[in-house]
Amino acid sequence: MKSKAAKDKQEQQEYNSRQLKGLRVMHDSKSLDTGEEIILTLADSNVLDIDGTTGKIRGINDDDDVLENVNIAADERRLHAQKEILRSKRPLYSGTLLTHSLTYLLTRLLTRLLI
């Protein structure tokens, strides 16, 4: 009788690139270092396919599975949150500065043309 460790080792050896067909990697190549070994796991996803507008269940979600590294994903979420915080602190662009600048430039241009 094989031990659990021996069974796990055999299962790992049987897992190959053919079984990875159809899987996507969530991260872009910039976040992955060449030659570095990274552990990828299946990303969380919804089991049910829910319509975004009505909220009704359309059926089973049959999207392709996505692989992610939890550390890289956490870093990406943190970076996105920091960008959102910085964006929320900036004043909203109202367009008045552009309008005033264009009015000033047009006035100067017309003044020079008429003189």
- Average pLDDT on 56-64 reads 81
φ/ψ of residue 48, rounded to 5: -95, 145
- Count CB atoms within 10 A of the CB of residue 27: 17
Structure confidence at residue 13 (pLDDT): 59
Q: What are the extents of the domains in the chain?
A: 4-114
Query: Which two three-digit tokens encode residue 15?
Result: 């897992």
- Average pLDDT on 30-48 reads 79
* Residue of higher predicted confidence among 88 and 82: 82
Angle at the Cα of 73 from the Cα atoms of 47 and 46, rounded to 5 degrees: 5
Task: Provide the total of helices (H) and of strands (E) in the chain, helices listed first.
Answer: 3, 5
- Quote the mean pLDDT of the chain: 79
pTM here is 0.51
- For residues 63 and 45, the answer to whether their CB atoms sit within 8 Å is yes
Sheet holding 41-42, edge to edge: 24-25, 66-68, 41-42
Can you give the length of the chain in residues?
A: 115
Measured CA to CA, the distance from residue 4 to residue 79 in angstroms comes to 41
pLDDT at 90 over 60: yes
